[in-house]
Amino acid sequence: MKAIVNVYLKEGVLDPQGKAVHHALGSLGFTNVREVRVGKQIVLDLDADDPEAARKEVEKMAETLLANTVIEDYDIEIVQ
């Protein structure tokens, strides 16, 4: 079973990397992009059989290590 954790900055937190990507896209002629936010994706290969138990464990991982919950939000997807 796999867990996919997407971590991204909370609304209102400045994203200088996103601004740089937005500027670069504009310079390359991609002018229809309103905003860019850059985050990270973590894919975990789990030795688990119960999706709900796996989700709870991954949530603990996200809360303690994978995300800085002061400035970042995250979402979890469990893939069988």
* Alpha-carbon span 12 to 17, nearest angstrom: 14
Which pLDDT tens digit goes with each residue over 24-51?
A: 999 999 999 999 999 999 999 999 999 9
pLDDT at 49: 94
Is residue 18 scored above 90 in pLDDT? yes
Domain count, the chain: 1
pLDDT at 39: 98
Looking from the CA of 35 toward its CB, the CA atoms found within 13 Å total 5
pLDDT at 76: 98
Domain that holds residue 46: 2-79
Which pLDDT tens digit goes with each residue over 44-77?
A: 999 999 999 999 999 999 999 999 999 999 999 9
pLDDT at 32: 97
Q: How far is CA 14 from the centre of its chain?
A: 16
pLDDT at 80: 83
Read off the CATH number of the domain in which 27 is found: 3.30.1280.10
Element (H, E) at 17: helix 16-27
Amino acid code (one letter) for 60: K
Which pTM value belongs to this model? 0.89
